[in-house]
Amino acid sequence: MNQNYFEPNSSYSGFDQPSQYPIDQSPPQEMSIQDMELQKQKYLEEMQSISNKIQIKDYRNERIDICYRKECEIKIDELKGKFNGMSIEINKKKELRQLEQAANLIFNTTLLLSMEPEDLLIMGDEDLEALFLE
């Protein structure tokens, strides 16, 4: 008997394969942060689903094909890498957005401070303090 393989029990139905969800292999270049969060959640849900299937079989003391278990572990590792990669990309996008907002604020403040008071008055009859508060 091969020690690397357990014989399935007589009620083996052939449904012991890891779920085959299509996973987008393309890099997350132009995805919104919300779309990236949704994709990250899909990765997490698939990891949990595969892990739960293995745990249920272990709990029921069902014999699990070692190849099947290894395929599941490989798939979970793959999904962990994608999940972590997506988390990094989300953080990069958030940091970039914050930097852009800070740069815009600095630019607008510098522009207003560099303008002559008569140029500011051309903008309307608003109080100068109101312009800086907006």
Is 70 in contact with 17 (CB distance < 8 Å)?
no
The whole-number pLDDT of residue 41 equals 96
In this predicted model, which residue has the larger pLDDT, 127 or 107? Answer: 107
| Within-domain flag for 28 | no
The secondary element (H helix, E strand) that includes residue 98 is helix 66-114
The secondary element (H helix, E strand) that includes residue 117 is helix 117-122
In this predicted model, which residue has the larger pLDDT, 7 or 81? Answer: 81
| Within-domain flag for 13 | no
| Within-domain flag for 92 | yes
Could you give the 3-state DSSP secondary structure of residue 60?
Answer: coil
Question: What does pLDDT average to over the chain?
Answer: 75
Q: How many structural domains compose the chain?
A: 1
| Within-domain flag for 52 | yes
Per the structure, the complete domain to which residue 63 belongs is given by 33-133
DSSP-derived secondary structure letter, 36: H
| Within-domain flag for 6 | no
Q: Which of 29-38, 61-70, 84-93, 118-127 has the highest mean pLDDT?
A: 84-93
Is the pTM higher than 0.75? no
| Within-domain flag for 89 | yes
| Within-domain flag for 7 | no
| Within-domain flag for 24 | no
